[in-house]
Amino acid sequence: MPDYILAIDQGTTGSTALLIDHDLTIQGKNNIEFPQHFPQPGWVEHDAEEIWGSVREAVSGLLESTKVKPTSIAAIGITNQRETTLMWDRATGDPVGRAIVWQDRRTADICQELKERGLEPYFRAQTGLVFDPYFAGTKLTWMLRENDSLRQHASAGKLACGTIDSFLVWRLSGGKAHVTDVSNASRTLLMDLDSLAWDSGLAKQLEVPLPLLPEIHPSSTEYAKTAGLDFLPDGLPIAGMAGDQQAALFGQAGFDVGNGKCTYGTGAFLLVNTGEKPVPSDSGLLTTVGLQVEGKTSYALEGSAFIAGAAVQWLRDGLNFIEDSPEVEALASQVEDNGGVVFVPALTGLGAPHWRPEARGLICGLTRGTTRAHLARATLEGIALQIHDLAEAMTQDLGQPLAEFKVDGGAAANDLLMQIQADLLLTDVVRPQTVETTSLGAAMLAGLAVGFWNGLDELRASWREERRFKPTTSAKKRETLLQQWRDAVGKT
């Protein structure tokens, strides 16, 4: 048996390639960033060729730096930014226009139109989702409405569409496979949660021709083999695939009912495994597919905050407030509190449980005494307070509080943020030894499909805790912060 699984983590701001061994240890990692495109306020786009170039460079650089031969790779697992959507020509594989990113808000009017037609209860029951520009379905509606030629070619079966996972498998397989997995399909507004199949009624309402869509498969299976690449040999099985948040839940060993995690990346996402039947939310959360592994489908409740680590990136890149993202922790630690400053990071609207696409970011409470440190602390608090709202909604839907709070993602390395989170949630925040759990999840799915690991018990035993943050703040200080937050959110 070869020594490694190659995980490709295609994220919002960059693509990462990792080599993961039998012990779930990362033996090599290479990240390549790519540009973001903002053609209009509220619009966010990616160039699919730039994404593909970043994946190619990430994998090539990883193999070169580690001196690992491709023959040592047992399989490839893919995880991806989920709702980002694009179309490409089936004959050439060339993208037709830029990808519309999950953060993009341009379809707000289409969502409102669908609501006014009274369709939201129908879609909510079928898909577990709400009408928000976040999801892939209305992005496709917009693309096809804006371009008559595109619609004609789509109806004629000349185009393919999908989330980024589908595009990567198409390219990696030399155009031989047009596929997605159930977790990504569940984020489109087009898949029925019970049948796990594309629904013609949903597609009709969204004006999406079914021939555009990829085949839906389990999250752990052989989709295709590599073919025709100049950076990987032919014949490597592509065998695991999941949207980034579901992959992170799997990477956190969230195999059982009640297991949950929160990933702090560009955005922040809380998922809890609810078992083999979908659980509807009465609190503004989403019902989604977790994963389909070893013939078993697990569902999840999810809360999404669109801006988390991106708030720190905005301080860095938009305001030149800091030089490097890790700087924000040391700066925020210089003060004991926010000095009355509150930052609501609704830079692309508010996600769950509010679902207000029109909301915009807000910084309030500034005085002559406000310092850079206060604003840095308010930024970290704004991230944590969004997650508090999600956890509170999750508790209402589940009828019980979360026993513990597993965290991962790049911003989970920020100790101050994790302590603020524990203080707000009044529960332990648990960080694993490896916070790259999204990539681990993709690797685990691929490894299971090809026999690299023997089963879930082996993987469950490999999960290891690094640090536990316990609540320490006073009740008064916590309630003051929560009230400041509620007041500020009401003003966005």
Structure tokens at 32: 């390549």
Specify whether the backbone of 164 is left (phi greater than 0), alpha (psi in -120 to 50) or beta. Answer: alpha
Sequence-ordered list of residues with C-beta below 8 angstroms from that of 278, at least 6 positions apart, any chain? 128, 193, 194, 287, 299
Q: Does the pLDDT of residue 233 top 90, yes or no? A: yes
Residue 331 is assigned to a structural domain of this protein: no
Q: Which residues of 67-101 are buried (b: 16+ CB within 10 A; e: fewer)?
A: ebebeebbbbbbbbbbbbbbbbebeeeebbebbbb
CA distance 37 to 416: 31
Choose between 457 and 172: higher pLDDT: 172
Residue 471 is assigned to a structural domain of this protein: no
- Across 426-444, average pLDDT: 91
Residue 267 is assigned to a structural domain of this protein: no
CA distance 341 to 374: 7
**What is the extent of the structural domain holding 224?**
4-245
pLDDT of residue 216: 97
pLDDT tens per residue, range 345-384: 998 888 778 888 788 999 999 999 999 999 999 999 999 9
Q: Write down the pTM of the prediction.
A: 0.86
Residue 158 is assigned to a structural domain of this protein: yes
State whether residue 31 is helix, strand or coil. Answer: strand
Residue 270 is assigned to a structural domain of this protein: no
Residue 226 is part of a domain; what is its CATH number?
3.30.420.40
pLDDT of residue 65: 93
Q: Does the pLDDT of residue 222 top 90, yes or no? A: yes
CA distance 187 to 31: 26
Residue 225 is assigned to a structural domain of this protein: yes
Q: Phi and psi for 58 in degrees, rounded to 5?
A: -65, -45
Query: Which residues does residue 301 pair with via DSSP β-bridges, in sequence order?
Result: 272, 287
pLDDT tens per residue, range 89-124: 999 999 999 999 988 989 999 999 999 999 999 999
pLDDT tens per residue, range 283-337: 889 999 999 998 899 999 999 888 888 898 888 988 888 888 888 999 899 999 9
Counting the structural domains of the chain, the total is 1
Residue 417 is assigned to a structural domain of this protein: no
CA dist list (Å): 263 to 149, 243, 406, 438: 40, 12, 9, 9
Residue 153 is assigned to a structural domain of this protein: yes
Query: How many helices (H) and strands (E) in the chain?
Result: 16, 23
Q: Does the pLDDT of residue 267 top 90, yes or no? A: no
